[in-house]
Protein backbone atom coordinates (compact mmCIF):
# COMPACT_ATOMS: atom_id res chain seq x y z
CA UNK A 1 0.00 0.00 0.00
CA UNK A 2 1.13 3.54 -0.69
CA UNK A 3 1.99 6.62 1.34
CA UNK A 4 0.94 10.06 0.10
CA UNK A 5 3.04 13.01 1.29
CA UNK A 6 1.85 16.52 0.44
CA UNK A 7 4.77 18.96 0.60
CA UNK A 8 7.41 16.41 -0.40
CA UNK A 9 9.66 19.26 -1.59
CA UNK A 10 9.96 20.58 1.97
CA UNK A 11 12.59 19.66 4.56
CA UNK A 12 10.24 17.60 6.73
CA UNK A 13 8.19 16.19 3.83
CA UNK A 14 11.27 14.97 1.94
CA UNK A 15 12.87 13.51 5.07
CA UNK A 16 9.64 11.68 5.86
CA UNK A 17 9.59 10.27 2.34
CA UNK A 18 13.16 8.94 2.84
CA UNK A 19 12.07 7.42 6.15
CA UNK A 20 9.11 5.60 4.57
CA UNK A 21 11.20 4.31 1.66
CA UNK A 22 13.77 2.90 4.09
CA UNK A 23 11.17 1.34 6.37
CA UNK A 24 8.91 0.02 3.57
CA UNK A 25 11.17 -0.55 0.54
CA UNK A 26 8.42 -2.33 -1.39
CA UNK A 27 5.87 0.46 -1.03
CA UNK A 28 5.54 3.51 -3.28
CA UNK A 29 5.45 7.09 -2.07
CA UNK A 30 3.27 9.61 -3.90
CA UNK A 31 4.75 13.06 -3.43
CA UNK A 32 2.60 16.14 -4.01
CA UNK A 33 4.31 19.49 -4.58
CA UNK A 34 4.24 22.70 -6.60
CA UNK A 35 7.67 22.27 -8.16
CA UNK A 36 8.72 18.64 -8.67
CA UNK A 37 12.13 19.89 -9.86
CA UNK A 38 12.80 21.20 -6.33
CA UNK A 39 12.39 17.78 -4.74
CA UNK A 40 15.76 16.39 -3.61
CA UNK A 41 17.56 14.53 -6.42
CA UNK A 42 17.66 11.26 -4.46
CA UNK A 43 13.86 11.15 -4.33
CA UNK A 44 13.42 12.30 -7.94
CA UNK A 45 15.65 9.45 -9.13
CA UNK A 46 13.88 6.81 -7.03
CA UNK A 47 11.46 4.74 -9.13
CA UNK A 48 9.29 4.14 -6.05
CA UNK A 49 8.59 7.89 -5.79
CA UNK A 50 5.76 9.30 -7.92
CA UNK A 51 5.71 13.08 -8.02
CA UNK A 52 2.39 14.71 -8.81
CA UNK A 53 2.06 18.49 -9.22
CA UNK A 54 -0.23 20.01 -6.63
CA UNK A 55 -0.88 23.55 -5.41
CA UNK A 56 -2.55 24.15 -2.04
CA UNK A 57 -3.48 27.73 -2.89
CA UNK A 58 -5.33 26.93 -6.12
CA UNK A 59 -7.60 23.98 -5.37
CA UNK A 60 -9.40 24.78 -8.65
CA UNK A 61 -6.27 23.62 -10.46
CA UNK A 62 -7.01 20.39 -8.69
CA UNK A 63 -5.06 17.32 -8.00
CA UNK A 64 -4.53 14.96 -10.91
CA UNK A 65 -6.77 12.29 -9.37
CA UNK A 66 -6.05 9.92 -12.24
CA UNK A 67 -2.27 10.08 -11.72
CA UNK A 68 -2.66 9.48 -7.98
CA UNK A 69 -5.33 6.84 -8.56
CA UNK A 70 -3.14 4.84 -10.94
CA UNK A 71 -0.37 4.53 -8.35
CA UNK A 72 -2.82 3.79 -5.54
CA UNK A 73 -4.52 1.09 -7.61
CA UNK A 74 -1.19 -0.54 -8.44
CA UNK A 75 -0.19 -0.35 -4.76
CA UNK A 76 -3.54 -1.86 -3.71
CA UNK A 77 -4.55 1.18 -1.72
CA UNK A 78 -3.56 4.05 0.51
CA UNK A 79 -2.05 3.41 3.92
CA UNK A 80 -0.76 6.81 5.06
CA UNK A 81 -1.81 10.32 4.06
CA UNK A 82 0.59 12.90 5.46
CA UNK A 83 0.19 16.66 5.03
CA UNK A 84 3.62 18.26 5.41
CA UNK A 85 2.96 21.44 3.39
CA UNK A 86 2.92 24.69 5.30
CA UNK A 87 3.37 28.43 4.93
CA UNK A 88 4.90 30.79 7.50
CA UNK A 89 6.63 33.33 5.28
CA UNK A 90 7.55 34.02 1.68
CA UNK A 91 8.27 37.05 -0.51
CA UNK A 92 4.97 38.73 0.34
CA UNK A 93 4.13 37.36 3.76
CA UNK A 94 5.95 37.51 7.10
CA UNK A 95 4.75 36.61 10.62
CA UNK A 96 3.03 39.59 12.22
CA UNK A 97 4.45 41.07 15.42
CA UNK A 98 1.53 43.39 16.09
CA UNK A 99 -2.09 44.04 15.17
CA UNK A 100 -1.26 46.77 12.63
CA UNK A 101 0.45 44.13 10.47
CA UNK A 102 -2.66 41.98 10.15
CA UNK A 103 -3.69 41.64 6.51
CA UNK A 104 -6.66 39.94 4.91
CA UNK A 105 -4.47 38.63 2.14
CA UNK A 106 -1.89 37.05 4.46
CA UNK A 107 -4.60 35.47 6.58
CA UNK A 108 -6.32 34.04 3.51
CA UNK A 109 -3.09 32.63 2.06
CA UNK A 110 -2.03 31.06 5.35
CA UNK A 111 -5.45 29.43 5.77
CA UNK A 112 -5.33 28.16 2.21
CA UNK A 113 -1.97 26.42 2.57
CA UNK A 114 -2.09 25.45 6.24
CA UNK A 115 -5.70 24.34 6.56
CA UNK A 116 -7.90 24.39 3.43
CA UNK A 117 -5.35 22.47 1.36
CA UNK A 118 -5.41 19.64 3.89
CA UNK A 119 -9.21 19.41 4.07
CA UNK A 120 -9.59 19.39 0.30
CA UNK A 121 -6.85 16.81 -0.13
CA UNK A 122 -8.54 14.47 2.35
CA UNK A 123 -11.81 15.08 0.49
CA UNK A 124 -10.17 14.16 -2.84
CA UNK A 125 -8.55 11.00 -1.49
CA UNK A 126 -11.35 9.92 0.88
CA UNK A 127 -12.56 7.09 -1.39
CA UNK A 128 -9.12 5.51 -0.87
CA UNK A 129 -9.60 5.53 2.91
CA UNK A 130 -12.41 3.01 2.70
CA UNK A 131 -11.70 -0.52 3.83
CA UNK A 132 -10.99 -2.84 6.73
CA UNK A 133 -7.26 -2.15 6.90
CA UNK A 134 -6.12 0.49 9.42
CA UNK A 135 -5.05 3.82 7.85
CA UNK A 136 -3.34 6.98 9.07
CA UNK A 137 -4.20 10.57 8.17
CA UNK A 138 -1.71 13.00 9.71
CA UNK A 139 -1.36 16.76 9.43
CA UNK A 140 1.96 18.30 10.37
CA UNK A 141 0.68 21.13 12.52
CA UNK A 142 2.58 23.28 15.03
CA UNK A 143 2.48 23.84 18.78
CA UNK A 144 1.91 27.55 18.09
CA UNK A 145 -1.51 26.51 16.75
CA UNK A 146 -2.51 25.49 20.28
CA UNK A 147 -5.04 28.00 21.61
CA UNK A 148 -4.51 27.22 25.28
CA UNK A 149 -0.72 27.27 24.94
CA UNK A 150 -0.67 30.76 23.37
CA UNK A 151 0.96 33.08 25.90
CA UNK A 152 3.18 35.06 23.52
CA UNK A 153 0.78 36.30 20.83
CA UNK A 154 1.94 37.48 17.40
CA UNK A 155 2.17 35.34 14.24
CA UNK A 156 -1.55 35.87 13.68
CA UNK A 157 -1.96 34.25 10.26
CA UNK A 158 0.20 31.22 11.07
CA UNK A 159 -1.26 30.62 14.55
CA UNK A 160 -4.87 31.06 13.40
CA UNK A 161 -4.43 28.84 10.35
CA UNK A 162 -2.75 26.09 12.39
CA UNK A 163 -5.53 26.29 15.00
CA UNK A 164 -7.98 25.90 12.09
CA UNK A 165 -5.96 22.95 10.81
CA UNK A 166 -6.23 21.38 14.26
CA UNK A 167 -10.01 21.78 14.16
CA UNK A 168 -10.05 20.24 10.68
CA UNK A 169 -8.18 17.24 12.12
CA UNK A 170 -10.66 16.93 15.00
CA UNK A 171 -13.63 17.14 12.67
CA UNK A 172 -12.17 14.54 10.32
CA UNK A 173 -11.34 12.30 13.27
CA UNK A 174 -15.09 12.17 13.98
CA UNK A 175 -16.29 11.63 10.42
CA UNK A 176 -13.65 9.47 8.77
CA UNK A 177 -13.79 6.40 11.03
CA UNK A 178 -17.60 6.47 10.98
CA UNK A 179 -17.76 6.49 7.20
CA UNK A 180 -14.63 4.79 5.92
CA UNK A 181 -13.20 2.28 8.40
CA UNK A 182 -10.44 2.08 10.99
CA UNK A 183 -8.46 5.33 10.81
CA UNK A 184 -6.33 7.47 13.11
CA UNK A 185 -6.54 11.11 12.06
CA UNK A 186 -4.04 13.17 14.06
CA UNK A 187 -2.22 16.50 14.23
CA UNK A 188 1.54 16.32 14.81
CA UNK A 189 3.92 18.93 16.24
CA UNK A 190 7.29 18.21 14.58
CA UNK A 191 9.40 20.33 16.93
CA UNK A 192 11.66 23.11 15.77
CA UNK A 193 13.38 21.85 12.66
CA UNK A 194 16.05 23.32 10.39
CA UNK A 195 14.26 24.23 7.16
CA UNK A 196 13.46 27.12 4.83
CA UNK A 197 10.39 27.76 6.98
CA UNK A 198 12.35 28.20 10.23
CA UNK A 199 15.47 29.77 8.66
CA UNK A 200 14.62 33.49 9.23
CA UNK A 201 14.21 32.75 12.94
CA UNK A 202 17.47 30.88 13.47
CA UNK A 203 18.86 33.60 15.78
CA UNK A 204 15.81 33.69 18.03
CA UNK A 205 15.85 29.88 18.06
CA UNK A 206 19.41 29.85 19.39
CA UNK A 207 18.22 28.83 22.87
CA UNK A 208 15.92 26.12 21.57
CA UNK A 209 16.76 22.59 20.52
CA UNK A 210 16.65 22.66 16.72
CA UNK A 211 16.36 19.26 15.05
CA UNK A 212 17.70 18.33 11.67
CA UNK A 213 14.90 17.29 9.30
CA UNK A 214 16.11 13.67 9.41
CA UNK A 215 15.75 13.62 13.23
CA UNK A 216 12.28 15.12 12.97
CA UNK A 217 11.30 12.56 10.34
CA UNK A 218 12.41 9.68 12.54
CA UNK A 219 10.57 11.18 15.53
CA UNK A 220 7.38 11.57 13.49
CA UNK A 221 7.79 8.18 11.87
CA UNK A 222 8.04 6.57 15.32
CA UNK A 223 4.73 8.14 16.27
CA UNK A 224 3.04 7.34 12.95
CA UNK A 225 4.19 3.72 13.05
CA UNK A 226 2.81 3.24 16.56
CA UNK A 227 -0.61 4.81 15.91
CA UNK A 228 -3.72 2.76 16.50
CA UNK A 229 -7.42 3.56 16.38
CA UNK A 230 -7.16 4.64 20.02
CA UNK A 231 -4.99 7.60 18.94
CA UNK A 232 -7.61 9.01 16.58
CA UNK A 233 -8.18 12.74 17.18
CA UNK A 234 -4.98 13.43 19.13
CA UNK A 235 -2.67 16.45 18.85
CA UNK A 236 0.72 14.80 19.38
CA UNK A 237 4.08 16.33 20.29
CA UNK A 238 7.10 14.80 18.52
CA UNK A 239 8.06 13.10 21.80
CA UNK A 240 4.74 11.23 21.79
CA UNK A 241 3.01 13.25 24.52
CA UNK A 242 -0.35 14.97 24.11
CA UNK A 243 -0.50 18.69 23.34
CA UNK A 244 -3.38 20.87 24.53
CA UNK A 245 -5.69 22.12 21.78
Ligand X SMILES: NC(=O)c1ccc[n+]([C@@H]2O[C@H](COP(=O)([O-])OP(=O)(O)OC[C@H]3O[C@@H](n4cnc5c(N)ncnc54)[C@H](OP(=O)(O)O)[C@@H]3O)[C@@H](O)[C@H]2O)c1
**Residues with Cβ < 8 Å from 153, sequence gap 6 or more?**
none
224 vs 241: CA distance, rounded Å: 13
Of the candidate residues 38, 97, 179, 222, the single one contacting ligand X (CB under 6 A): 38
Q: Does 18 bind ligand X (CB under 6 A)?
A: no
Q: Exposed e or buried b for every residue in 40-64, given b needs 16+ CB within 10 A?
A: beebeebebbbbbebbbeebeeebe
Q: Confirm if 128 and 77 have CB atoms less than 8 A apart.
A: yes
Question: Dihedral sign, CA of 170, 218, 40, 17?
Answer: negative
Q: Which CB sits closer to ligand X, 177 or 218?
A: 218
What minimum distance in Å lies between the beta carbon of 87 and ligand X?
5
Choose among 85, 58, 62, 59: nearest CA to 4: 85
User: Taking CB under 6 A as the criterion, which residues in 111-130 touch ligand X?
Assistant: 113
35 in contact with ligand X (CB under 6 A): yes
Quote the least distance from Cβ 114 to ligand X, whole Å.
6
CA-to-CA dists, residue 233 to 60, 77, 139, angstroms? 29, 22, 11
34: contact with ligand X by CB under 6 A: yes
In the complex, least distance from residue 25 CB atom to ligand X, rounded to whole angstroms: 23
Return the percent helix, strand and coil in the chain, to nearest 5.
45, 15, 40
Instruction: Convert residues 62-81 into a mask of x (bound to ligand X by CB under 6 A) and - (unbound).
Output: --------------------
Interacting positions 83-112 with ligand X (CB under 6 A): 84-87
Binding mask 171-200 for ligand X (x = CB under 6 A): -------------------x-xx-xxxx--
Write down the least CB distance from residue 31 to ligand X, Å: 9
Shortest Å distance, C-beta 181 to ligand X: 26
C-beta of 135 vs 211, nearer to ligand X: 211
Which one of residues 140, 169, 183, 186 is an interface residue with ligand X (CB under 6 A)? 140
Q: Choose the binding region for ligand X from 5-13, 18-26, 45-53, 92-100 (rule: CB under 6 A).
A: 5-13
Long-range contacts of 41-50 (CB under 8 A, 24+ apart): 42/18, 43/8, 43/14, 43/17, 43/18, 46/21, 48/21, 49/8, 49/17, 49/21
| 30 belongs to the binding site for ligand X (CB under 6 A) | no
Task: Please say which residue, 18 or 193, places its beta carbon nearer to ligand X.
Answer: 193
Distance CA 106, CA 218 (A): 32
Q: Which residues bind ligand X (CB under 6 A)?
A: 7, 9-13, 33-35, 38, 55-57, 84-87, 113, 140, 142, 190, 192-193, 195-198
Amino acid sequence: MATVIAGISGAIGSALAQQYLEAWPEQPVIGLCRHPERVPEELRQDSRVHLVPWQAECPADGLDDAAVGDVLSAAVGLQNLIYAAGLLHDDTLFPEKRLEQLSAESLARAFQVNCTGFGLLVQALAPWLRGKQFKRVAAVSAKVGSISDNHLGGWYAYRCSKAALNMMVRNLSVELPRRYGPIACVALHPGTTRSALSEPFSQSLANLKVHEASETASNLYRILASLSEADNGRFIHWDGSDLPW
